[in-house]
Amino acid sequence: MASFSSDTTIEKVNEYNFDDFFRLITELARFEHLDPPDEEGKERLKKHGLAEKPFYDAYITRMNGRPVGYLIYFFSYSSFKAKPTLYLEDIFVLDDVRGRGLGKMMFLFCVKKAKEAGCGRMEWSALNWNKGAIGFYERMGAKALSEWTYFRLTEQAIDELLERS
């Protein structure tokens, strides 16, 4: 557990704090106007994150013991840089505690993890309508990429493509 002030800590998600982590994911889904994971999704999150070789790393931020934010990242690899890339999947702070530096603290925590892992870069995405997040990342020194377009195949699209092939 990392302590940043007497009242704020960042702790790795484990079986004991997983329910707090899941509640925060539900809050992010609400913020983004999306459906949160269902019970089966919750079980997959637990299985994939707490496995011997987890698919992702996740941390909860607590203020005075209260879970107020979380982050998820995983590593991919850049063939051209010949170094790992830390991909920040989620970083979220509850609305009632925003503006207190928690997001910056969590972001810098990830930057430190990228440095420790010898990453050649760190990447993430932000929704186009989330001007607060975009402004935050720009203040951190990040540049929006214009030369790349992110694409996604949904689970349904994967199934349909395999059926057609």
Q: Is residue 135's pLDDT more than 70?
A: yes
Q: Is residue 3's pLDDT more than 70?
A: no
pLDDT digits (tens, 9 = 90+) for 59-96: 999 999 999 999 999 999 999 999 999 999 999 999 99
For residues 161 and 165, give the distance between their C-alpha atoms in angstroms, rounded to a whole number.
6
Q: Is residue 29's pLDDT more than 70?
A: yes
Show the domains of the chain with their CATH numbers.
Answer: 2-164 (3.40.630.30)
Q: Is 137 a catalytic residue?
A: yes
Catalytic option among 70, 87, 137, 150: 137
pLDDT digits (tens, 9 = 90+) for 109-119: 999 999 999 99
Instruction: Tell me which H or E stretch contains 113.
Output: helix 102-116
